[in-house]
Structure 1
Amino acid sequence: MSKSARPTVKDVAQASGVSPTTVSFVLNGASGHVSLETRERVRQAARALGYVPNGSAQALRKGSSRIVLLNVEGIPASNSLGSYIRGLDAELTVHDHVLLVVHGHLSSQTLSDVAQTVSPRAVIDLADAGNADATADTRTSLDSFFAQADVPVQYLVGKDHRHIAAALPEVAELQALAGLRGRLMQHASHAAGLARCATFTLPVSLDVAEERLRSFRTEHPEVTAIAAYNDDLALLLLAAMRRLGLQAPADLAVVGFDDTLHGALFSPALTTVRIDAEAIGRIAARKALGLPSIDSAVEPARVIVRESG
């Protein structure tokens, strides 16, 4: 940024290590989902840069409408996301509020314009969840939606695996969330007394995934189990293993995440993690509206044991 240029949201985001969307939320009062530490970091960066929000950005605030805005930009459709949205919508309906879901590839300015138009009661930004720090309270700040890395780790430890790896997606839109999952896997492995959790990325291409897995096996022959970012990636991994003549779980145990139907239909059937996303959505709705927590607890995430793990 040149000395004469007016600082922008992107400048503040780069200086504070968060996304432009989070900067907009923090500086305009719709940041209930953002940790206090992150809010202060954004405000300090804005002050240091001399950033002044423009009129459109100022409009992104907690409004008086009965609308709650949910941003899922860049998050792929999944069982968990669908259930989360159903729970969120159902709880908001009980309290005479309407859920507006924003998805697609939006700029922070476009999101600000949406908020300006509807003046939402609250904003929930799942798209920026990956920018949260992997601290002890990460799971609380994300309403348990992304932070379940300990579940597959504990399951695999129970199966006597001592060297576990994480397979993460090589997709630009998922880099923040993939990074979060990777950090949480590291924490979970350390807590279980394991060696450092190796991580590697897989692209959509099966040919490239095959080569990537071959190289990973050469570099990490000690790894006996892999926890994948989601079921889609786990199935890609199983397909690459088949090409290399590897069997699950004899050569590598594989665990997915999201309990999708096609995971159950694959051969070998995919072991996966199921979360109570609908209940998490209901809790998120009450939190957004400033209501007390409901008595019914979220069911713990659990492993659906099938053939691959």
Structure 2
Amino acid sequence: MTGNSGRRRVTSADVAREAKVSRATVSYVLNDSPHQKIPEVTRQRVREAAARLGYAPSAAARSLRRGRSDIVLGLLPDWPIEHVLGRLVQQLTDTLAQHDLTFLVHSAAHPARPLREVWKALTPAAVLALDAFPDTEADAMRAAGIEVVMAVNGSARSGYRSPLVSEELIGAEQARHLVHSHRRLGYAYPDLARLGTLAQPRLDGVRKVCAELGLPQPDVRTVPVDQDGAVEAVKAWLAADPLVTGICAFNDAAALAVLGALRSLGLRAPQDLAVIGVDDVPGSALSQPPLTTIVRDTDTIARGLARRIVDTLEGTQVAAQPIQESLRVQVRVSA
């Protein structure tokens, strides 16, 4: 037998026939079972037969051997999947794979299947949600045998402090960068209500720094990613009393909208209005002027989240404190 006929799934019995060994031997070899005295030449023959046939053990079989699924279900809210979120998903995929776990992502963007249908179909070992989801849903997951239910930016009735990753520190870092030269700050809030989970704590971080330094509270304006709306926000900041001279933007998209509005008004950053974003998207260095922005340590976030999942699955002590990521200000011309 030298190939798979039609669309039938290749089984361990096919590999056994190809390698001229028993199915038990195939299982021992491909699962690296200990205490089995199988000659290396036989092991090699089995591996070559499996590769030749394109054999892959089924997820159900792996789950039976391990006593649990190897799937971690990642739940994405209805957020734009942009540069940093895409990078975090890739790093989580890579990091969990180092622990023999498979990261599968489900987006809640309409018209996605209901969450309960998804986790019931997959029966994952763990669920990692970027946003909060109902406690009733978390309870149902645990009742169904899902061992880990974590929400990065909200409660899932876990033992973890909420949030696992602090967005407030980002706003605080933005404010600290600007207050050296600016005594009144503005905040460019996104016009997508569903991003409030991220935007509100970032704004809270800006407010906290202003309060600590005895500065006026930031002037908050919703900034849509279009020229007319951004122009109105810039005009309002420049007409404020006291005058707003520095803007902390929710992310680089909002910051770039502010820079575009300044250009359309014949104004400049940072001379007329300094601007700092978040995420360091590829276009931020190419904007006019190049955008100062906060760079997130998504690798540390991914490793921290994976560590908590793996430790919980293995029954070892889990860190209670939030993940400590290092933030870096990428200084360019805009602020």
By the TM > 0.5 criterion, same fold?
A: yes
Question: For residue 211 of structure 1, what is the aligned residue in structure 2?
Answer: 232
| Aligned with residue 222 of structure 2, among 201, 210, 214 | 201
Is the CA contact 2:231–2:261 (under 8 Å) kept in the aligned structure 1? yes
Question: For residue 246 of structure 1, what is the aligned residue in structure 2?
Answer: 267
Distance in structure 2 (CA, Å) of the matches to 1:177 and 1:114? 25
Structure 2: which amino acid aligns with 1:101? Answer: V
Change (3 A) 1:97 1:192: farther
Unmatched 5+ stretches in structure 2: 1-66, 133-150
Once the two structures are aligned, what percentage of the paired residues are identical? 36
Residue 80 (structure 1) shift: 2.2
Is 1:142 aligned to residue 168 of structure 2? no
Structure 2: which amino acid aligns with 1:264? Answer: A
Is the CA contact 1:209–1:236 (under 8 Å) kept in the aligned structure 2? yes
Distance in structure 2 (CA, Å) of the matches to 1:220 and 1:124? 45
Residue 221 (structure 1) shift: 4.7
| Aligned with residue 331 of structure 2, among 288, 305, 308 | 305
Is 1:127 aligned to residue 159 of structure 2? no
Change (3 A) 1:130 1:161: farther
Unmatched 5+ stretches in structure 1: 1-62
Question: For residue 96 of structure 2, what is the aligned residue in structure 1?
Answer: 92
Distance in structure 2 (CA, Å) of the matches to 1:197 and 1:100? 40
Deviations 1:12-56 (A, max 9, x none): xxxxxxxxxxxxxxxxxxxxxxxxxxxxxxxxxxxxxxxxxxxxx
Is 1:152 aligned to residue 190 of structure 2? no
Range with bigger deviation, 172-181 or 203-212: 172-181
Is 1:68 aligned to residue 72 of structure 2? yes
Structure 2: which amino acid aligns with 1:227? Answer: C
Is the CA contact 1:130–1:176 (under 8 Å) kept in the aligned structure 2? no
Distance in structure 2 (CA, Å) of the matches to 1:130 and 1:122? 13
- The within-5 A match list for 1:1-309 is 64-106=68-110, 110-128=114-132, 132=154, 141-144=163-166, 147-158=169-180, 160-289=181-310, 290=312, 300-309=326-335
The higher-RCO structure (CA 8 Å, 6+ apart) is: 1
Distance in structure 1 (CA, Å) of the matches to 2:161 and 2:218? 20
Residue 130 (structure 1) shift: 9.5
Secondary structure of 2:234's counterpart equals helix
Deviations 1:141-177 (A, max 9, x none): 232467421111111123x212111101111332333
Distance in structure 1 (CA, Å) of the matches to 2:166 and 2:196? 19
Range with bigger deviation, 147-156 or 175-184: 175-184
Change (3 A) 1:96 1:220: farther
Deviations 1:89-121 (A, max 9, x none): 122111111101111425897011111111222
Change (3 A) 1:139 1:266: farther
Distance in structure 2 (CA, Å) of the matches to 1:154 and 1:79? 25
Distance in structure 1 (CA, Å) of the matches to 2:264 and 2:282? 23
Change (3 A) 1:260 1:279: same
Is the CA contact 2:210–2:217 (under 8 Å) kept in the aligned structure 1? yes
Residue 299 (structure 1) shift: 5.4
Secondary structure of 2:289's counterpart equals coil
Distance in structure 2 (CA, Å) of the matches to 1:146 and 1:119? 34
- Tell me which structure has the larger Cα radius of gyration: 2
Is the CA contact 1:145–1:277 (under 8 Å) kept in the aligned structure 2? no
Distance in structure 2 (CA, Å) of the matches to 1:130 and 1:173? 15
Residue 307 (structure 1) shift: 0.6
Range with bigger deviation, 78-87 or 91-100: 78-87
Secondary structure of 2:179's counterpart equals helix
